[in-house]
Structure 1
Amino acid sequence: MLGRKRPEPMLQSSDEAFSPQAVRTGAALRLTVSFMLVVVIAFLAVEGWRTWRDYRAAFASARDSVTNLARATAQHAEDTIRQVDVVTAALSERVEGDGLRNMDIPRIHKLLVQQSAIMPQLHGLFIYGPDGEWVVTDKEVTPEMANNADRDYFQYHRTHEDRNVRIGEVIRSRSTNDLIIPISRRLNNPDGSFAGVMLGTVKVSYFVDYYGDFKIDDKGALVLATRSGTILVRRPFVASVVGKSLLNSVIFKNFLPTSNQGVAEARAVIDDTERLYGYRALTTYPLVVEAGLSRESIIAPWRRDLLKTGIVLVFLITILVGFGLIVLSQLRYRMTMEKQIRSAHETMRDMALTDSLTGLGNRRRLDIALADQIRLARRQGSSLALIMLDVDYFKRYNDRYGHAAGDECLRAIAGAIQQTIKRPGDLAVRYGGEEFTVLLPNTDNSGAAQVAQQILESVRALNIEHADHPLGMVTASAGITTSQPAAEEVTPAMLIKAADAFLYLAKNTGRNRWCSAGLTPQ
């Protein structure tokens, strides 16, 4: 509509603002929820950090354990092999000095028996001739037709001039049927030719018994292997595992080539168990030991502790949440009560600002709104219009039709006025008696005139019978005033007085019309 802009919302009165008590209650609710969240997050953060610390501590302790196990088993293996190495070296020197043909066999047999008795790891001591025949041994009985020329260690020494001790793969003894580790060295004639083999054998059961004394988990493992990866001894002991290769395991492929000792987490190629291994290569002999603890055994205590901690944490959080819910329930109840009280106050206020007959605002409502809109128009530099309406010959209508009919007439006119104004900021009130007022923010004189014209037409369209009216139906008259509060000093009383003056001008010039400054009355 010409001359009318969409107004900003009216300034909120102090009665419509939230009370300080409501603001405090809402803040308390938010503070309680925030506090609960902070406490829960703090619990989770602290326990999470402690759990991670314990997890790392469990693995740090396991690393220390496997390192110590590897060191102990490596030292044991080295001492065991060195003792046999020293004995065979001394015996080899004596045999080579006397010569195999001049050897006092009974005396050497007695010496071998003596040496074998003082070393618990020894399975036996043997001297073989150049053809593999048994020359002398610590055993009381020599098997008939005994010959070891087919053994790997014998063939090696016959074809190699290397005088160092050689540690072979596990074999089964032909004299006792026990699993043994052969530790051998070459015997030479004075001219350097091959004279035979000096052999000391170590019982595999000796290592198995030693490894069995360590307290490790059921899925743990202790391994003694050659540097080439062949298993000599393993705990848990399974005969079929002896002789298998570890060459493709993570430790032999990725770690031993760069470091002779360390700790590695790997999945075993033998039983597919994930373990934390400590590994160590012997310094003197080409052997490697591995000591492994299963990952399950490492984290099982930590997992049990985590479960206990989780139960306690859930219990504490449940108590906290329960307490918080009680507090929140009380706060919500308080907010609900305050809301109901505010609603009741607003209802009472609305009732105090509403005309009970027509449902429009009353004069007090107009006084508040008019003062607010004048301030808003002054701040925005906008115009403000006010229309005063009066029902023509209403006293005659009451006298003829009665006050009940008069009330119905006023309600109908109020409805027509309310339907005519469209914008949220427009306000229609019953000023008193048969007088109505329409407040139009952001509206100039021509826009207000159009609204007034529409209201008068809506009243006529009601076609309410009025026998004492010259036109025979109810009509109304209107006075319009507009103002620019930013450009002139304006008060509510001034606007009402000006609109009332134009209303009387409309009545005095024939009724059923509107009057306004600068516009032709209609």
Structure 2
Amino acid sequence: MQPSHFLSSQWKPLSSTIVKVQGCHRYSLMRKTRRSGSARQDKPDAILHGRHRFSLVFELGASAALLIAALITINGWHVWQTYHSALAKSQTATMNLTQALSQHASDTFSQAEATLAELARQIDTLGAGAAQRPRLHQLFQQKAQGLKQIGAISLFDDAGHMIVTEADHLPAVNNYADRDYFIYHRDHPELTLRIGNVVRSRMTHQLIVPISRRLNHSDGSFAGVVLESIMLDHFRNFYTRFMISDDSTLMMLLNNGTVLYRHPYDEKIIGTTIAGSPLYQDNIRQNHSGIVTSVLSADPEQKVYSYTHLKQYPVIVTTGLSLDQTMSDWRQDAFNHAVMTLIFVVMITTVCLLLMRQVRARMRAEQELIHAQRELRTLNRSLEKLARSDGLTGLYNRRHFDLALDNEFKRAMQSRRELGLILLDVDYFKQFNDLYGHVAGDECLRLIGQTLHNLPLRHRDLVARYGGEEFIILLPDTDRAGTLAAAQRIRQGIIQLNIPHEGSPTGILTSSLGVFVGLPVAGQDTPTRLVVKADSALYQAKRQGRNQICQA
């Protein structure tokens, strides 16, 4: 909002009707749209005391504060450095553990891949007919005996029936066409190794990781599946060798986030997914390897996680060491430093307070003198305020108004902004005094002064008693519409006082207002000339019947 429209935005007409009578404007009733506070009051300047009396106390306090700040900064820097050092050590330990687990997983899957590749070559060479199955059975037994992690080696035909296994007998229920590894190879022509989700073996009833490979006929059509079952206990036995806390985590996952194994072991978690966790979404899915402090959705505790994708297989190995445990030594060290720092802070503060107490004791006489000076200055301010105020209405007096007008006149000349003046005269006030007495007249002026005092003025606006029953309002940086709106509000406010006046044609006390709004012209206008223009507009309002506003 521009300054020139301040008052026009504060006052809105109840009716937009304006009646123009011989250069005068009679406005309809106005209402205040919002309460903006009381008239501006100049606050006295704060009494500034000599700094010399506080210099020693200040120096003592500042020295103690600097010493405490330096002590806290040094210890804080030490704690910060040791924190990063402890975190780096935990990250290194996590990374080393992840590398060991990933190498073990890679070796396991490499052996399985080599075994399945060799068996696939033998099956392609010998065939899988009934005559060759005893020989394949012996071959499967040899391979199973050489690899302890193998739970079973099986061959399935194109219908899903197990036709060869390393066991002595085929299972009673002999159809595996519903297994996901069989369905996958049946529908995908690739002759690549597949690592499937953990399932429970129908032969041994143990949890296994199925590693499978497709077999084709000579014409490329689907011939069946050769399967090597890696016992989950193989990974369990290996992972338990590592001395980690119960709240730390070792995991082997498929690329899609499905859990193949988790340590500490929990069978309910096997086969679940962490694809929705922040660890997977923000890190594992986007990067080949890394170290990060994160959380799992099923485990809200923050841990230091290291993860890596196996190069040749769709498997991820991740290690999560408990941040709480890995930082336990650091926390103890940080606690010791914090206690020592607190002890030194208390000692420094105590010594400083004792010294400051002695200094204050020697300053009591000076403080009493300053207190007396403060009271004297307060009295001077009160006298100055009385010199600038009207004793009856509490508004500024004419002397203060003249000084303010002179300053605003110069400011308007420099800034090229309009200046608004409203001169108010109480209608038939002499008759009011004759009818009701001077005491009632004074009370009437006091009520009008209170009404003007409650106007929502800006910082530089000013209301003053100009003399007798006349009041004047100074509105810097205010255009014609804003000044007229303020004048109408003032006229209506006096009417709303509803002060009985039998000597007035209206029956109540009213007022006439003269308004001047303009830009002072250099060499022509003076502050006094502006008041004269407003006074001319006031007398025009009186000549035309009073209880109205005229503008120069």
With the length of structure 1 as denominator, give the TM-score of the two structures: 0.56
Structure 1 residue corresponding to 2:119, chosen from 79, 91, 99:
91
AA aligned to 1:65 is A
Q: Indicate conservation of the 8 Å contact 1:134/1:146, yes or no.
A: yes
1:240 counterpart SS class: coil
Q: Does 1:310 align with 2:338?
A: yes
Matches within 5 A, 1:276-291: 276-291=304-319
Letter in 2 for 1:196: G
Q: For the residues of structure 2 that align with 1:193 and 1:229, how far apart are their CA atoms?
A: 32
CA distance in 2, matches of 1:103, 1:60: 62
Separation of aligned partners in 2, 1:302 and 1:246: 30
Displacement of 1:90 after TM fit? Answer: 0.3
- Which amino acid letter does the alignment assign opposite residue 254 of structure 2? T
State how far apart, in whole Å, the 1-side matches of 2:112 and 2:264 are: 25
Q: Distance in 2 between matches of 1:30 and 1:193?
A: 94
Which protein is bigger by CA-based radius of gyration? 1
Q: RMSD in angstroms over aligned alpha carbons?
A: 2.8
Letter in 2 for 1:86: A
Q: Which runs of 5+ in 1 are unaligned?
A: 1-22, 344-522
- How many pairs were matched up? 318
Look up the SS of the partner of 1:117 in the other structure: helix
* Equivalent residue number for residue 189 of structure 1: 217
Displacement of 1:205 = 1.7
The corresponding residue for 1:216 is 244
How far off is 1:125 after superposition? Answer: 1.1
Paired residue for 2:494?
none
Provide the C-alpha distance between the structure 1 equivalents of 2:167 and 2:92, rounded to a whole number of angstroms. 44
Instruction: Indicate if the aligned counterparts of 1:100 and 1:195 stay in contact, CA closer than 8 A.
Output: no
The partner residue of 2:98 within 70, 74, 80 is 70
Q: Deviations over 1:57-79 (max 9, x none)?
A: 23222222222222222222111
Aligned runs of 1:208-247 on 2, under 5 Å?
A: 208-247=236-275
1:271 aligned to 2:309?
no
Amino acid at match of 2:128: L
Per the TM alignment, residue 244 of structure 1 is displaced from its structure 2 partner at its CA by 1.2
Q: Which amino acid aligns with 1:166?
A: R
Report the AA paired with residue 305 of structure 1: D
Residue in structure 2 matched with residue 154 of structure 1 by the alignment: 182
- C-alpha distance in 1 between matches for 2:267 and 2:104: 21
Bigger RCO (CA 8 Å, 6+ sep): 2
Counterparts of 1:169 and 1:206, CA distance in 2: 16
CA distance in 2, matches of 1:103, 1:180: 30
Matched residue, 1:170: 198
Of 81, 102, 127, the match for 1:53? 81
- Once the two structures are TM-superposed, the CA of residue 336 in structure 1 deviates from its matched residue by 7.1
Cα distance in 2, alignment partners of residues 117 and 329 from structure 1? 89
1:200, CA displacement in angstroms?
A: 0.4
Bigger Cα displacement from structure 2, 159-168 vs 296-305: 296-305
| Separation in structure 2 between the aligned mates of residue 179 and residue 151 of structure 1, nearest angstrom | 14
Whether 1:206 aligns to 2:234 is yes
Alignment correspondent of 2:107: 79
Number of the residue aligned with 2:528: none
Q: Distance in 2 between matches of 1:104 and 1:110?
A: 10
> What letter is aligned with 1:70?
T
User: After the TM superposition, which of the residue ranges 226-235 and 111-120 deviates more from structure 2?
Assistant: 111-120
**Residue pair 1:168, 1:182 contacting (<8 A) in 2 also:** yes
Tell me, yes or no, if the aligned pair for 2:279 and 2:295 is still in contact at 8 Å.
no
1:170 Cα offset (Å) = 0.6
The superposition leaves residues 267-321 of structure 1 with CA deviations (integer Å, 9 ceiling, x where unpaired) of 2122333222212111101111221123333443333322222112112222333
Amino acid at match of 2:298: I
Identity %: 30
Q: In the TM superposition, what are the counterparts of 1:10-49 in structure 2 within 5 Å? A: 31-49=59-77
What is the rounded CA distance, in whole Å, between the counterparts of 2:284 and 2:62 in structure 1? 55
Q: How does 1:414-493 map to 2 (within 5 A)?
A: none
Whole-Å separation in 2 of the counterparts to 1:257 and 1:329: 65
Residue 122 (str. 1) matches residue 147 (str. 2):
no
Name the counterpart of 1:101. 129
- The residue type equivalent to 1:110 in the other structure is Q
- In the TM superposition, what is the alpha-carbon distance from 1:223 to its structure 2 partner? 1.5
Q: Which amino acid aligns with 1:284?
A: Q
Work out whether residues 304 and 322 of structure 2, in 8 Å CA contact, stay in contact via their aligned partners in 1.
yes
AA matched with 2:68: V
- Distance between the aligned counterparts of 1:314 and 1:119, measured in 2? 62
Given that 1:179 and 1:204 are in contact with CA atoms closer than 8 Å, whether structure 2 keeps it comes out as yes
TM-superposed deviation, 1:257? 4.4
Matched residue SS, 1:304? helix
Segments of 5+ residues of structure 2 without an aligned counterpart are 1-51, 370-552
Cα-to-partner distance string for 1:425-453 (whole Å, 9 max, x where unaligned): xxxxxxxxxxxxxxxxxxxxxxxxxxxxx
Q: Is the 8 A contact 1:95 1:103 kept in 2?
A: no
CA contact (8 A) 2:157 2:223 kept: yes
Q: TM-score, normalised by structure 2?
A: 0.53
Distance between the aligned counterparts of 1:121 and 1:54, measured in 2? Answer: 43
What secondary structure, in the 3-state scheme, does the structure 2 residue paired with 1:241 have?
Answer: coil
C-alpha offsets along residues 88-111 of structure 1, whole Å, 9 cap, x if unaligned? 110110111100016543433333
> How far apart, in 1, do the equivalents of 2:136 and 2:126 lie?
11
- On the 8 A contact 2:279/2:296 being kept in 1, the answer is no
Distance 1:98 1:61 in 2: 55
Cα-to-partner distance string for 1:185-205 (whole Å, 9 max, x where unaligned): 012223323222111011112
